[in-house]
Structure 1
Amino acid sequence: MKRILQIDGGGILGIMPALVLVKLEELLRQTKNRTLAESFDLITGSSTGAIIGGAIAAGVPATTIADFYIKKGADLFTPRTRWNPGNWLRAKYDRNPFIEQIKGTTTAAGLRLESLSMKDVKTHFMATSFNLCSKRTHFLKSWEEYDGGMKLWEVISWSALSAAYYFGKINVPDYQWTAYLPDGTKDTRKGGVFQDGGQGVNNNTIHFILSEIAAKNWWKEGTFLLSLGTGNLDISVPYETASKENFMEQIVHYPFEARTESTIGQVLAAKYIAGANDSFKFRRFDTLLQEKENELDNVQYIDRFVNYGKVMAQSLDSGFVADYF
């Protein structure tokens, strides 16, 4: 059976999937004598999911990743002072402290992440980032020759530390990409101006995973997809309210639902396939957030997110490992 791990984006909300993975790795070590990296054939993540996924794929213990968020998150998410006029037109946070923490993180073998290229990870890893040059999301894959030569910490940064408001874009002038034109032709172009992989409709990468499963014909040997969310809101609206929305309210509301709708649609697609195909197993772990908690930098709620993560992990036990690993 092929096993795949998918992790949503969500900033400091990454505490929750990180704690699920702490529990899972503990169980895998106890029952299978394996790490997370040794237990998955493919790991994908967007934004904060790329930090977690890239570190896991490289062999960083899940406890180290959880500590990164829980113990260092509040200090890292310290806004630039607005008393300095030079900061008025700059992003809210300085990404360099985050980058230094990521680069200095060590694997179980004692290797610093700054020393690793994408091709050096222990299992296949894919991260997303939106390129302002191509106007589309790029799927950066450790197993492809060009992407494999990139530094792991840089790819993680392109995906997780380039949101326009929070950190600002990352310019990569020598990055090469393929332009697919409407007439069916394509050509190679140069220049990457990256923004956070979770900003568009790819905060969840299930659709990419389903494409990979089909392309590699993994259906034959069976596939298990473990999908980890970072908390979501109940976005439904009562009929009495929706039926009275005027023209302007409809225009304002609809465009901003794309990211949430994409995640819901992808999760439902995976559930539908799993229900119709015995060779595909799917489990989704997520939780309901309050409106005030649903921000990428709400470090004042770290204790709540820790509790949510522990609750999400409660259904993990030796039976879960026996069923899927």
Structure 2
Amino acid sequence: MPFRILSLDGGGIRGAFGAAFLAEIEERCECPLAEYFDLIAGTSTGSIIALAIASGLKASEVVTLYEEHGHDIFHPRPRFVPQNWTKMVYPLVRFIFQRRTGSDIDDFFRSLYCPQALEYAFESTFGDLRMQDLRDSRVIVPSVNLSRGKVHVFRTPHLPGVGDAADLRLVDILLAATAAPTYFPHKMMPDGDAYCDGGVWANNPAVIAVAEAVKIRDYYRCPEDTAPVDLSDVHVLSIGTGDLRYELTPPGSDAGSLFWARHIADVMGTSQVQGSQLPLDFILGNRYVTINFPLEDPSWTLDAVDQIDNFLQLGREKANRLSEFVCDQFLDRPTDRFVPCSEAEHRTAPVSAASRQ
């Protein structure tokens, strides 16, 4: 029986592309997406779409979230004002710094955006829903535990020993998962630790989703079966947030911080996504399907909220061309519903698709 994964990349406001694509697919195929995927993985903006779909929202409602809250979320902060004598010379320092580097020195002292609008958007969409309330599909959301210096994955309680996020509010998980360094401040979670955006290590979460599929398959098979877990029927639909093809020639042999500060995010982000795609192309072949669009304009940044209509239109156009293929490959039959489990529970088969009716 196929094991189907929906993977959603990080990419800020460009996540509107994926939301629009899925909304069009959902409407054309007339099926709730969560019931057709065994696992949904989402990084950063992708985690918003992932948790929304898994909580029973339509993809069109996620489109509405981007449209109604995007401009407030990425609204510039007021100018930074020092609280000591330096406020007298700070405007001149800001002017000189901007002329020399093309950057705003304010960004050295605080994140670009306030998290209040982001939190309001999540509160109004998800309310008090918790990870343990999700029943239609398993979900994983990568993040980083800054306090402990290690990567972290928030999960629905679909495997023993991984239910530490079960009682967490979706709002808190999303604030941690979307806390992109320099864009938003880190999130202090109920455990007292600070978390940030998982895009710094898993902007394309497809690889960790396939690894999770191996764990799930291994858990549900017979204990005496010791053969390697079969991946021949694992299928991945990976939704990107723009394919950046940069060309970068450092100025001389000693390019320093001022040069790399403007380019390191693009280099690392693009390389990380490409590095995820290479092994999946090799392992899964044509069972790894990527939906993406070229980033033709350098102004289409993570916070390019003025381009949201373009991203939405690109998603709809892509769905118009690929809806029949996606429906045939990924939405031909509902998947089995997972059974939440805990350390004390024994292996049980997932609830069959027929019993959901």
Question: What is the TM-score normalised by the length of structure 2?
Answer: 0.73
Letter in 2 for 1:25: E
| 1:262 matched residue in structure 2 | 272
Matches within 5 A, 1:1-325: 1-29=2-30, 34-82=31-79, 89-105=109-125, 113-121=126-134, 122-143=136-157, 144-160=162-178, 162-172=179-189, 174-175=190-191, 191-198=192-199, 200-217=200-217, 219=230, 222-236=233-247, 246-249=252-255, 257-275=267-285, 281-325=287-331
What letter matches 2:170 in structure 1?
L
Paired residue type of 2:296: Q
Q: CA separation in 1, counterparts of 2:74 and 2:53?
A: 22
C-alpha deviation, 1:220, in angstroms: 6.0
- For residues 71 and 103 of structure 1, the distance between their equivalents in structure 2, rounded to whole angstroms, comes to 14
Q: Is the 8 A contact 1:201 1:263 kept in 2?
A: no
2:254 aligns to what SS in structure 1? Answer: helix
> Does 304-313 or 245-254 show the bigger shift?
245-254
More deviation in 10-19 or 96-105?
Answer: 96-105
SS of alignment partner, residue 246 of structure 2:
coil
Q: Shift of the alpha carbon at 1:290?
A: 3.0
Q: Deviations over 1:87-137 (max 9, x none)?
A: x644222212221221221xxxxxxx2221101113111111112122222
Q: How far 1:17 moved relative to its partner?
A: 0.4
| CA-based RMSD | 2.5
CA distance in 2, matches of 1:247, 1:216: 48
Measured at CA, do residues 145 and 99 of structure 1 come closer, stay the same or move farther in structure 2, by a change above 3 Å? same
Q: Is the 8 A contact 2:40 2:139 kept in 1?
A: yes
Alpha-carbon distance, 1:14 to partner: 0.8
Structure 2 unaligned blocks of 5 or more: 84-105, 218-228, 332-357
Give me the whole-angstrom Cα distance separating, in 1, the residues matched to 2:70 and 2:291: 22
Overall identity of the aligned pairs, in %: 29
AA at the equivalent of 2:307: Y
Change (3 A) 1:16 1:127: same
2:138 alignment partner AA: H
Once the 2 structures are TM-superposed, how far is the Cα of residue 221 of structure 1 from its aligned partner?
A: 7.3
CA distance in 2, matches of 1:207, 1:140: 15
**Ranges in structure 1 where 5+ consecutive residues have no aligned partner:** 106-112, 176-190
Q: Distance in 2 between matches of 1:14 and 1:196?
A: 14
Give deviations 1:193-245, integer Å, cap 9, x for gaps: 111221x12111122112123333463672211100011311255xxx58xx7
Larger Rg: 2
Query: Residues 300 and 307 of structure 2 are in contact (CA less than 8 Å); yes or no, is this contact kept in structure 1?
Result: no
Deviation at 1:322, TM superposition (A): 2.0
- Call closer, same or farther: CA 1:221–1:233 in 2, change over 3 Å: closer
Q: Which amino acid aligns with 2:75?
A: T
SS in 2 for 1:195: strand
Change (3 A) 1:236 1:268: farther
- Give TM-score, length-normalised by structure 1: 0.80
Residue aligned with 1:248, SS = coil
Aligned residues: 286
Structure 2 match to 1:178: none
Q: 1:134 to 1:24 in 2, by over 3 A?
A: same
Deviations 1:274-320 (A, max 9, x none): 22xxxx71110111113533321111212222222223223323343
Moved more, 266-275 or 219-228: 219-228
Amino acid of the structure 2 residue aligned with 1:15: A
Q: Retained in 2: the 8 A contact 1:2–1:222?
A: yes
Q: Structure 2 CA distance, aligned partners of 1:320 and 1:259?
A: 27
| Greater RCO, 1 or 2 (C-alpha within 8 Å, sep 6+) | 2
Give the structure with the larger strand fraction. Answer: 1
